[in-house]
Amino acid sequence: MTDHGPGISEETLAHLYDRTWHAKRAERVGAGLGLAIVRGLVDAHGGQIEVDSKPGSTTFTLVFPKGGETAGAAPPTSH
């Protein structure tokens, strides 16, 4: 996903996935949990989340293992 907003500063990138952390803004909307939750889900499925930001453009890329293989997950059981 790519947006064409102002971009994310280097200082902010360091805290991007921290729970309840907000960049310095006059208006803070939301609980600050969105990206922390996304990262947790991606990690749980053995994937990676990457961000590339520069002035005028930010791109988030999610990469998951092929075939649904999850790092460290127990194999499914049949009942």
pLDDT recorded at residue 44: 94
pLDDT tens-place string over residues 2-46 = 888 888 888 888 888 888 777 766 555 666 788 889 999 999 999
Q: Which domain, by its residues, includes 64?
A: 2-68
Q: Is residue 73 assigned to a domain?
A: no
Task: Indicate the number of domains in the chain.
Answer: 1
Q: Which CATH number is 37's domain given?
A: 3.30.565.10
pLDDT recorded at residue 79: 46
Report phi then psi at 50, rounded to 5. Answer: -125, 150
Report phi then psi at 44, rounded to 5. Answer: -65, -25
pLDDT recorded at residue 73: 55
pLDDT tens-place string over residues 40-67 = 999 999 999 999 998 888 899 999 998 7
Q: Is residue 59 assigned to a domain?
A: yes
